[in-house]
Structure 1
Amino acid sequence: MESVLKLSQDGSDPSDAEEYRTAPHNLEAEMALLGAILVNNEACDRVSNFLLPEHFHEGVHARIFEAASTRIRSGQLASPVTLKSFFEQDETLQDIGGPAYLARLAASATTIINAEDYGRTIYELAQRRALIGIGSEIVNNSFDTPVDKSSRNLIEEAEQQLYEIAESEKYGQGFQPFGTALTEAIDMAAAAYQRDGGLSGISTGLKDLDEKLGGLQASDLLVLAGRPAMGKTSLATNLAYNVAAAYQAEHNADGTMNVKNGGIVAFFSLEMSGEQLATRIVSEQAEISSERIRRGKITPDEFDRLVEASQRLSAMPLYIDATGGLNIAQLAARARRLKRQRGTLGLIVVDYLQLLAGSARRASESRVQEVTEITTGLKALAKELNVPILALSQLSRQVENREDKRPQLADLRESGSIEQDADVVMFIYREEYYLGRDEPKPNTDEHLQWQERMDGVVGVADVIIGKQRHGPTGTVSLHFDANLTRFENLVRPGYAPDIRD
């Protein structure tokens, strides 16, 4: 076989150089940044939003940066004198001069104006080192692939690692000081205080549901469960539409984006086709029965409304993936890709959970183990992308065998993992559906009593919140239009809207 080795310009074999290649780093930039911080603590503010101790190549530099940052965050002075006591017993620092090294850093400091440039250099080189690590892992795994892993699995793992690096300023930072988490909590409370309706999360578009949930919270896994014909998919499409229709964002000069309202929605429809889902949504908005749309039995005026609604909906940031048979790793990869492409993501909907697949290994063990892997993966994805995930779920048939058919947590299929991993579990229940199947004979006392009960539940759907980690449980009643498969706020008897001139 012909050799592919080539000699370098000086005649040496490049393979020799390969043995001595070191990971990219710049110790001078690290020293210059630390010196600037020790001379003027304001330099730390210029890099604190993106630079972490682990981005430094030299371990002692990482410890100096961490100690200085901690003091500065607490309002104290970080200087060679104040940091000296922290490093008197540091063995690594002793090898390069001990605490006197701090004074040398400060003495060789450059202007604070260059601090951010030095920080960006350090961060960029850290990213390259991480990429080298991933590349080496890909090569090693490709040479020695376990029997239970396919090339697709390797690609998805590599994609996840690359995504985490790309989003490393937001996710995957490891331990963080409690003060950082506390600041984020206060910022969230301030945003809720300033936002209309006082919501800390994304509005569902349904007032009473928002009051119970506080909106759809970032990083939450919400499970919406119900028996067939209760309207799970209809409610999910309503919420997806409301979030996408309310989307408002502004682009900053540095390329970042501030979402003011609503969000971009990813809808994974594992049961219905994209065309069926789109028909439902356009039916709701044009106020024309989806059955009549499919059969073409609409008037010219209704057709005009259909076209108008379609034009309005076509620009909405609602993305549908109707691929059947997805597994949890593929779903996660596609969600990451959409967020990377659009820069932000507001809501992920999965219709429905039991149609997702887990890994081949878990599937071979048992269905319970497979569903556990799926729910754990969905919760991890919600935290990774910092986005709420609404997953629909089937209920077991035991509901039908009870006299009271209102669902409970124990009715969830493979309920152990679903109930455990979900932050919110909601059930949808329509008494009208069950009562309509038990109509007694006409012109009897039983029928009169039945009619009275029926009049009170027609068009009413209950969303039962059976679990909520950070809020109350209870029941929210909504209005359900079965012809349009649309959920709306329930107008209670005696309600009178404000009259404006």
Structure 2
Amino acid sequence: MALKKILNIEKSESDNLDKFSNIEAELALIGCLLWDNRNYEKIADFLNSEHFIDSNNQLIFRTIKDLLDKNILVSPITLKNYLSDYDKNIDQIKYLNQIKDSAPSTHNAYQYAKIIYDLHIKRSLIGIAQNIVQETTENNKDLDGEDLIENAENDLYLLSQTGNTERKYSHFGEALKNAVDVIDEAYKRDGKIAGLPTGLKDLDSKLGGLHNSDLIIIAGRPSMGKTALGTNIAFNAAAKFKEEEDEFGNKKILDGGKVGFFSLEMSAQQLATRVLAEQTKISGDKMRKAELTKDDIKKIVKVSSDLEKLNLIIDDNPILTIPSLRARARRLKRIYNINLLIIDYLQLMSGSTTSRNDGRVQEISEITRGLKGIAKELNIPIIALSQLSRQVEQREDKRPLLADLRESGTIEQDSDVVMFIFRESYYLERMEPIKKPEENEEKYLERHQRWRELCEKSYNTAEIIIAKQRHGPIGTIKAHFEPNFTRFSNLSVKDYDNIME
């Protein structure tokens, strides 16, 4: 039925253009602006010249907008000098005065603008609908159904970003009430954290959990454990998920949350194997090579049955742009009501098709701004894993710095939290002393013993360096890391030594 309606639109396109246009509203708005330039403040947020259907009105409004943006007074007399492309056969001052005098009421400027914007949206929706029909029936690019849906969602999202007539201002009292509610919930909750728990006690203590609308970057060199920490946080949050429903059907989260995981590097099956290895404490390598005992199989079967209903949704599509991520994230929010989004990893994403010629730095800038925008729109925390540049390897102290973030300083700028993973044991294991030709056996053994002591001291220990936190302190915490199972956990009290406050 819906398809027939859309096809009928194409047959009577001229009738629909009349139905979805209002030249009188366009003239009335221009008249309001000529009467009182202050009316522009009411509509500047959402209305553009492209929203007008009449080409002459488009030109007049575009000129008015350009002049008022430069704080130049606009009247029929001043406007005449800037309308160089307008019809020369018309007395411009007389025509503009007629528009000005015909304005019904200058108090209705916002309403006229809202009508123009609304009609533009409806015309654009008709165009998108016709594109969907055309792309589906012709399908020159041989796209499957999912790709066609994604293209349609991207078009609809881009249309929604052309403006918005509803102002989203918040009175301070309302914002204050929301802030107090979050503090109150954190006080009542076990662990006394306001955000989503990561499952690492010291990290939660430092961050207060993962907070809604925050963009959190977890960065590190290869083999440091970025994906491991991402999957650990995803599992811990999803496993702890608890919610209650009141008598009116309103749901309230008590702990944890539902997690969406976008894995550009690994398949869903590989990611599931990692989580299984973490929880069974059987290495993923043994699973892949099938070097398993009967006890291992029993443990895998038991843990698998426990994990079946885990609130973790995986998307392993290897090609991801910001518009497609936004469309998929909104779908996950609508269908599963996710509370956390994790992306592995940032440098494998690409920007929108329109900005691919601007260079990789600009592309990463677009991606980080887009991720922050999605976090705010969906009101959930987003964790993005990120690579670090090779300059870390050139330094004696391999601990990462903010300057090491790869390809763009806007990663640091747009994020609310930046964390680095550093495992000293990774570098020490590759620095085993070699006996020098002139060195005697005793000195060599002494050096080798010192190296072994350093390796033992740093074994199974990872540092999580909080290099930036917009709303709290920076510092470093230590965590227990088991490389065989790619598992991060809390250090025991006797092992823990806080190295920076």
Check conservation: 2:20, 2:122, Cα contact below 8 A: no
Separation (CA, whole Å) in 2 of partners of 1:133 and 1:334? 26
Question: Does the C-alpha gap of structure 1 residues 20 and 436 become closer, same or farther in structure 2, counting only changes over 3 Å?
Answer: closer
Query: Partner residue of 1:447?
Result: 448
Check conservation: 1:221, 1:391, Cα contact below 8 A: yes
Shift of 1:441: 4.0
Shift of 1:154: 5.5
Query: Partner residue of 1:298?
Result: 292
Matched, 1:244 2:210: no
Alignment of 1:73-472 (within 5 A): 134-140=121-127, 155-159=153-157, 174-342=168-336, 344-441=337-434, 444-472=445-473
Separation (CA, whole Å) in 2 of partners of 1:283 and 1:393? 23
Separation (CA, whole Å) in 2 of partners of 1:193 and 1:310? 35
Question: Does the C-alpha gap of structure 1 residues 295 and 157 become closer, same or farther in structure 2, counting only changes over 3 Å?
Answer: same
Question: Does the C-alpha gap of structure 1 residues 179 and 206 become closer, same or farther in structure 2, counting only changes over 3 Å?
Answer: same
Secondary structure of the equivalent of 1:483? coil
Q: Deviations for 1:25-58, whole angstroms, at most 9, x for unmatched residues? A: xxxxxxxxxxxxxxxxxxxxxxxxxxxxxxxxxx
Q: Percent identity?
A: 47
Shift of 1:429: 0.3
Query: Partner residue of 1:126?
Result: none
Q: Deviations for 1:196-226, whole angstroms, at most 9, x for unmatched residues? A: 1110101111100001100001100000000
Check conservation: 2:364, 2:408, Cα contact below 8 A: no
Aligned residues: 378
Shift of 1:452: 1.9
> Unpaired runs of 5+ in structure 2?
6-11, 23-103, 109-115, 133-146, 436-443, 497-501
Kindly provide the amino acid, as one letter, of the partner of residue 493 in structure 1. Answer: K
Shift of 1:335: 0.9
Query: Partner residue of 2:42?
Result: none
Check conservation: 1:160, 1:333, Cα contact below 8 A: no
Separation (CA, whole Å) in 2 of partners of 1:388 and 1:438? 39
Separation (CA, whole Å) in 2 of partners of 1:427 and 1:326? 24
Question: Does the C-alpha gap of structure 1 residues 352 and 200 become closer, same or farther in structure 2, counting only changes over 3 Å?
Answer: same
> Unpaired runs of 5+ in structure 1?
6-12, 24-90, 96-128, 496-501
Shift of 1:188: 0.9
Question: Does the C-alpha gap of structure 1 residues 164 and 276 become closer, same or farther in structure 2, counting only changes over 3 Å?
Answer: farther
Check conservation: 1:134, 1:158, Cα contact below 8 A: no
Question: Does the C-alpha gap of structure 1 residues 21 and 395 become closer, same or farther in structure 2, counting only changes over 3 Å?
Answer: closer
Separation (CA, whole Å) in 2 of partners of 1:380 and 1:362? 17
Shift of 1:359: 1.2
Check conservation: 2:276, 2:300, Cα contact below 8 A: yes
Question: Does the C-alpha gap of structure 1 residues 319 and 306 become closer, same or farther in structure 2, counting only changes over 3 Å?
Answer: same
TM-score (normalised: structure 1): 0.69
Secondary structure of the equivalent of 1:444? helix
Question: Does the C-alpha gap of structure 1 residues 472 and 453 become closer, same or farther in structure 2, counting only changes over 3 Å?
Answer: same
Query: Partner residue of 1:485?
Result: 486
Separation (CA, whole Å) in 2 of partners of 1:494 and 1:479? 9
RMSD, aligned CA: 3.6
Question: Does the C-alpha gap of structure 1 residues 322 and 494 become closer, same or farther in structure 2, counting only changes over 3 Å?
Answer: closer
Check conservation: 2:21, 2:119, Cα contact below 8 A: no
Check conservation: 1:138, 1:154, Cα contact below 8 A: no
Check conservation: 1:163, 1:336, Cα contact below 8 A: no
Check conservation: 1:225, 1:428, Cα contact below 8 A: yes
Secondary structure of the equivalent of 1:476? strand
Question: Does the C-alpha gap of structure 1 residues 315 and 163 become closer, same or farther in structure 2, counting only changes over 3 Å?
Answer: farther
Secondary structure of the equivalent of 1:415? coil
